């Protein structure tokens, strides 16, 4: 392994641990509750820290995970993991360090947010494409507040622009395409950024990019929760939020690659499924009234917009 | 197509339509509410009737679907459908008739039940394995009432034994294996019967078998609901039911072949996802107290029992 990759691994570990502390602190300050923490070890190598705040004043469920894992992958898992085009049987060694979080606020006017930044390496990391970054951040509101979506996207664009002006437009489109439920004809939310298999710049540059993105999470999201967390809402609006949470579950369990990869390769189930909301609802053929606020959200989910 | 297969198709259509009427009537009699009915057509051929009772006095959600569909499958869907080992490009024609139902009672002492019986044909149905029956019925309680599980299995065994004494033991084991969540190390429920790709007897005999199984649904399940639907329960017991419903969602969205096949081949989403409960819950790392009723259920889900 090159000295550069060694430094990137070490920098990524430091970054994800620090981001976990910072994000949890910001959420605790808003909620008043405290995160519960579990430290776990992976039998094959490495481990993680799962932090969860459940049934809080502001947050119905907030999970912030970090993991730094390594070892040898079963061949099938190695293929599913990607980065494997040029790799042979001697490249089953893997290393992955990342942070992953999903925040479900209680108030239906406050959006759900997800973010996830990770670094992967296969084998010695010397072959082209044998190390890469992945991740992104996206917003899933139950009600549409245009200024919130603009704010969220603007913060992410700023983080992207510092590294590469082509990143935000590419990763915004990728996000809309990735977080899409074909069986509903809907995006999961109003998007953000998504990228995978990213190795088009030196690893040290991309580490800086991941750091900027992770640092953007608190300023991109916390102000939205502050604006919305004490708004009045009706039981029907809560019900609509619950139906949207059902869609969130559908995406994560049917399509999300990270979730399925984790569940099918014996990852730590409780940490993987921390992303699911505390409560969700499925009604048969629930359709919002034409012209309603709920219908306005659906229109945007069916035809993604440019926000910045 | 042979005259026998023509008669089996016609008999299956009559059976599933009649079973839908009978089962819905029995559920309405218990609940006092009425099923909502949607008739739909499949663009490529055929259609179905979806009946749903939602937010009733006894049933939180009950869906009973029939569909009789036919046409030409995309090659990938044909392969995923099974029965394709001996089939070539000229066998993309398919026919499927079935009934599928999931009943989620409101009271946490009353179990969820699922049943599903279907007949498939590919091509002209003349090649060995180009027609088959699939289906089964299984019970998912949140609390363990041994006599309920014994009653449910006894009724199914009687329906099996009339056709073939080997069926119940084979299909009971198959059910335990099929309705299993590897990432939880748990079966979905206390089982029942499950079979697929069944063509080991003349089609007319297997139609009689499917008829007997479908006719067993009301007597296997309704008495259990009658016993449990008015039992007292605590908020904690309701919460446990909601957590178990979360597991039900996990199974259906991550593993259930019929659900995934339907979603990924543009089936009618609302009819496919009728199986999901009205409400579900995911708490981080919820573990029942040792020796509790909840722990007793988990022990059985982790090590399936013989009930009859």
- Residue-wise pLDDT for A47-58, tens only, equals 999 999 999 999
Which residues on neighbouring strands pair with residue A96, listed in sequence order?
A69, A120
CA distances from A5 to A73, A119, A205, A235 (A): 20, 11, 11, 52
C-alpha distances in Å from residue A292, one per residue of A196, A234, A235, A237, A238: 36, 14, 16, 11, 15
Residues B191, B123 contacting (CB under 8 angstroms) = no
Q: Do A270 and B249 touch (CB under 8 A)?
A: no
Among residues B110, B138, B58, the alpha carbon closest in space to that of B237 is found at B110
Query: B280 to chain A: which residues are within 8 Å by CB?
Result: 249, 279-282
Test mutation, B242, B250, B280, chain A, max A CBs within 10 A: B280
pLDDT bin (cut points 50, 70, 90) of residue B90 is low
pLDDT for A6-29, tens place per residue?
A: 999 999 999 999 999 999 999 999
Q: What pLDDT digit, counting tens, does each position of B6-41 carry?
A: 999 999 999 999 999 999 999 999 999 999 999 999
| Mean pLDDT, chain B, whole residue set | 94
| The model's pTM | 0.96
pLDDT tens digits, A162-217: 999 999 999 999 999 999 999 999 999 999 999 999 999 999 999 999 999 999 99
Q: Which residues of B are catalytic?
A: 114
A93 or A83, which is more confident:
A93
Show the beta-strand stretches assigned E in chain A.
36-41, 46-54, 59-72, 93-105, 112-122, 131-140, 180-181, 186-187, 191-198, 279-281
Mean pLDDT of chain A, nearest integer: 94
Q: At residue A283, what are phi and psi to the nearest 5 degrees?
A: -105, 150
d(C-alpha A163, C-alpha B178), whole Å: 49
Shortest Cα–Cα distance, B80 to chain A (Å): 16
| pLDDT exceeds cutoff 60 at B84 | no
The alpha carbon of residue B270 is apart from the nearest alpha carbon of chain A, in Å, by: 6
Task: Say whether A183 and B269 touch across the interface (CB within 8 A).
Answer: yes
Nearest to A121 by CA among A207, A57, A212: A207
Distance CA A184, CA A247 (A): 9
* Chain B nearest CA to A236, separation (Å): 15
Inform me whether the pLDDT recorded for A84 exceeds 60: no
CB contact at 8 A, B196 and B82: yes
Nearest CB among A182, A263, A285 relative to B183 is that of: A263
Mapped onto helix, strand or coil, the DSSP state of residue B214 is: helix
Supply A188's token pair.
């999961």
Q: What average pLDDT does this structure show over A301-307?
A: 98
Contacts of A183 in chain B (CB under 8 A): 263-264, 266, 269, 272
Question: What is the Cα–Cα distance from A282 to A249, expressed in whole angstroms?
Answer: 10
Half-sphere exposure (CA, 13 Å, Cβ side) for B138? 25
B283 close to A278: Cβ distance less than 8 angstroms: yes
Please tell me which residue in A36, A104, A114, A153 is annotated as part of the active site. Answer: A114
Residue among B46, B49, B44, B106 nearest B72 (CA): B44
Q: What is the pLDDT of residue B92?
A: 80
| A 41-60 → B contacts, CB under 8 A | 50, 52, 54
Ranges B119-133, B199-213, B269-283: which has the least confidence: B119-133
Q: How confident is the model at residue B149 (pLDDT cuts 50, 70, 90)?
A: very high
Give Cα B93 to chain centroid, integer Å: 25
Give pLDDT, residue B75.
72
Q: Do B260 and A254 touch (CB under 8 A)?
A: yes
Residue of A nearest to B283 (CA): A278
| pLDDT confidence of residue A126 | 82
pLDDT grade for B91, boundaries at 50, 70 and 90: confident
Give me the pLDDT at residue A305, please.
Answer: 97
B302 to chain A, any CB pair closer than 8 A? The answer is no
What distance in Å separates the CA atoms of residue B93 and residue B124, rounded to the nearest whole number?
8
Q: Which of B270, B285, B246, B307 is nearest to B104 (CA)?
A: B246
> Which tens digits make up the pLDDT trace of B217-270?
999 999 999 999 999 999 999 999 999 999 999 999 999 999 998 898 778 999
Instruction: Give the mean pLDDT of A228-238.
Output: 98
Of the candidates B86, B175, B166, B168, the one whose C-alpha atom is nearest the C-alpha of residue B132 is B86
Contact of A190 with A198, CB cutoff 8 Å: no
What is the C-alpha to C-alpha distance for residues B191 and B153, in angstroms, rounded to an integer?
8
Say yes or no to pLDDT of B211 above 70: yes
- pLDDT, residue A83, reads 59
DSSP state of A291: T
Question: Which of helix, strand or coil describes residue A67?
Answer: strand
List CB contacts (< 8 A) between A242 and chain B: 279
pLDDT bracket for residue A86 (50, 70, 90) = low
Higher pLDDT, B44 or A202: A202
Q: ipTM value of the model?
A: 0.95
Note which residues in 235-264 of chain B have CB less than 8 A from chain A. 242, 246, 249-250, 253-254, 260, 263-264
A114 is catalytic: yes
A25 touches chain B (CB under 8 A): no
Closest residue of chain A to B266, computed from CA coordinates: A183
Q: Which residues contact A92 (CB under 8 A, 6 or more apart)?
A: A72, A73, A74, A75, A78, A122, A123
A273 secondary structure, DSSP code:
G
- Residue A99: burial class (beta carbons within 10 Å; 0-12, 13-18, 19+): buried
End-to-end CA distance of chain B: 40
Of A73-82, B204-213, B238-247, where does mean pLDDT reach its minimum?
A73-82
Cβ pair A269:B242 closer than 8 A = no
- What is the C-alpha separation between A255 and A274, in angstroms, rounded? 16
**The pLDDT value given to residue B77:** 72
Rounded Cα distance between A76 and A73, Å, is 8
Give the mean model confidence (pLDDT) for residues B68-80: 79
pLDDT recorded at residue B304: 97
pLDDT in tens, A32-48: 999 999 999 998 899 99
pLDDT tens, position by position, A103-120? 999 999 999 999 999 999
Query: Cβ distance A46 to A69 under 8 Å?
Result: yes
Give chain A positions within 8 Å (CB) of B54.
283-284
Residue B85 has pLDDT above 90, yes or no: no
What confidence category does residue B126 fall into, taking pLDDT thresholds of 50, 70 and 90?
Answer: confident
Burial class (CB in 10 A: 0-12, 13-18, 19+), B98: buried
Phi/psi of residue B95, nearest 5 degrees: -145, 135
Burial degree of A92 (CB within 10 A; 0-12, 13-18, 19+): middle
Task: Write down the pLDDT at residue A128.
Answer: 84
Per-residue confidence (pLDDT) for residue A74, from 0 to 100: 73
Are A58 and A225 in contact by the 8 Å Cβ rule? The answer is yes
How far is CA B262 from each of CA B52, B81, B130, B181, B279, rounded to the nearest angstrom? 18, 10, 20, 20, 22
């Amino acid at each position: 392994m090159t000295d550069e990759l060694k430094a990137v691994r070490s920098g990524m570990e430091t970054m994800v641990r620090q981001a976990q502390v910072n994000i949890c602190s910001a959420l605790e300050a808003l909620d008043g509750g405290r995160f519960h923490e579990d430290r776990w070890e992976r039998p094959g190598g490495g481990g993680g820290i799962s932090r969860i705040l459940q049934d809080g004043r502001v947050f119905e469920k907030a999970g912030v995970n970090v993991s730094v894992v390594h070892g040898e992958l079963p061949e099938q898992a190695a293929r599913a993991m990607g980065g494997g085009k040029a790799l042979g049987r001697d490249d089953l060694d893997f290393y992955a360090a990342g942070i992953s979080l999903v925040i479900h606020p209680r108030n239906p006017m406050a959006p759900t947010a997800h973010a996830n930044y990770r670094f992967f390496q296969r084998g010695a990391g010397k072959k082209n494409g044998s190390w890469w970054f992945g991740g992104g951040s996206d917003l899933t509101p139950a009600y549409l507040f245009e200024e919130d979506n603009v704010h969220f996207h603007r913060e992410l664009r700023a983080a992207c622009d510092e590294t590469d002006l082509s990143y935000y437009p590419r990763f915004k489109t990728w996000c809309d395409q990735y977080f899409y439920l074909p069986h509903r004809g809907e995006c999961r939310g109003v998007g953000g950024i998504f990228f995978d298999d990213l190795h088009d710049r030196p690893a040290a540059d991309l580490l800086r990019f991941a750091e900027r993105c992770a640092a953007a999470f608190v300023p991109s999201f916390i102000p939205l929760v502050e604006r919305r967390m004490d708004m009045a809402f009706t039981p029907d609006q809560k019900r609509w939020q619950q139906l949207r949470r059902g869609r969130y579950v559908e995406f994560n369990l049917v399509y999300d690659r990270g979730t399925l990869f984790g569940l099918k390769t014996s990852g730590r189930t409780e940490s993987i499924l921390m992303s699911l909301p505390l409560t969700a609802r499925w009604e048969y053929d629930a359709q919002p009234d034409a012209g309603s606020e709920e219908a306005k959200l659906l229109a945007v989910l069916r035809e993604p917009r440019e926000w910045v």
